[in-house]
Amino acid sequence: MNKLRLILSAALIAFCGMVYAQDINEAGEALNNGNSFIKAKKFALAIEEYKNCIDLCNEIGDDAYELSEKAKTALNIAYIGLGKAQYKAKKFDDALAAFTTAYESETDEAKKKKTKAYIAKVLNSKGLALYKAKKYDEAIAVFDKSFENDETYVKAIYGKSLVYRKQGNIELFKAAVDQILEIGPAYDKKTVARTAKMVKGFFTAEGGKAIQSGKFKKATELLEMGFAYGPAKAQAHYFAAIAYNGIKNWNKAIENANKALALEKKSKSNINFELGKAYEGQGNKAKAIAAYRKVVDGANLDAAKHKINHELK
């Protein structure tokens, strides 16, 4: 009887050993399968294999701890790979889901930070898509989330500035631009340069619109805002000359007309016409005539001749 029990016990031990070996082999095979799918960039399939490996390791227990840890590390890599693939395919919500899963399961702080940077990038692209679709409030909310995930990612603030520019919200546009120019140089010089160019162009265009509407005081304010961001182009100073002439600030008109003349490489007739108006307003007849004589083409040619031959003769 005792001999029979010993035989049965030995058989049971042998059977359990076989089951254990089978389970550990299956877990190892699942890990290897996942690695093969990673190499083939079949990330969704790799994720399933790694999950299967982890489940088998949990059933085995402590003896499979090392194998389980390898599978968990590989699983995060697979989610990152899946997120990148979905981002490339412009499936932004799917990409966010993959990156978020990787972030939540990651324990290494440096890797968590890197994953949040991926999330910020995807959110920014989603925000730009919403901006292009004219869903401006939604875009702003997404750009804010992008920056929350990575406070060095100034492209998200740039996205907000695009929305505010489109909406004509000058106060918020300027605040966004100022934020980029303040923190951006340490992280993204290209976006800073792009922003500086955009902001000057924006205020030049807005100043021109105000001039067309006869709002010369507003035009001077807008153009001066643009000048605060660095050297301006000839057109901006030309607009400023028109606007300052419009409010009879002859000195500022002359100052800006001369700056425009120094910068303009093509026709200077329109600028000289504004310079002539400013000198005329100032009461300097000789300089006004001299400026009007330099109007040699364009829409103001006849008006300049009339000034010389009749009004200032």
Cα separations in angstroms, 158 against 126, 133, 280: 14, 17, 44
State pLDDT tens for residues 102-136.
999 999 999 999 999 999 999 999 999 999 999 99
Q: Which fold has domain 23-107?
A: 1.25.40
The verdict on pTM exceeding 0.75 is yes
Instruction: Give the mean pLDDT of 282-291.
Output: 96
141 confidence band (pLDDT: 50, 70, 90): very high
Instruction: Give the mean pLDDT of 97-103.
Output: 97
Rg of the chain (C-alpha set):
35
Looking at the chain, the whole-number percentage of residues with pLDDT higher than 70 is: 93
22 confidence band (pLDDT: 50, 70, 90): low
State pLDDT tens for residues 161-170.
999 999 999 9
Domain boundaries along the sequence of the chain: 23-107
The pLDDT of residue 23 is 76
Query: What is the amino acid identity at position 232?
Result: A
The pLDDT of residue 93 is 97
Residue with tokens 């740039």: 158
Per the document, the length of the chain is: 313
Tokens of 228: 């605060």
249 confidence band (pLDDT: 50, 70, 90): very high
Instruction: Give the mean pLDDT of 231-235.
Output: 97
What value does the mean pLDDT of the chain take?
Answer: 93
The pLDDT of residue 64 is 87
The pLDDT of residue 198 is 96
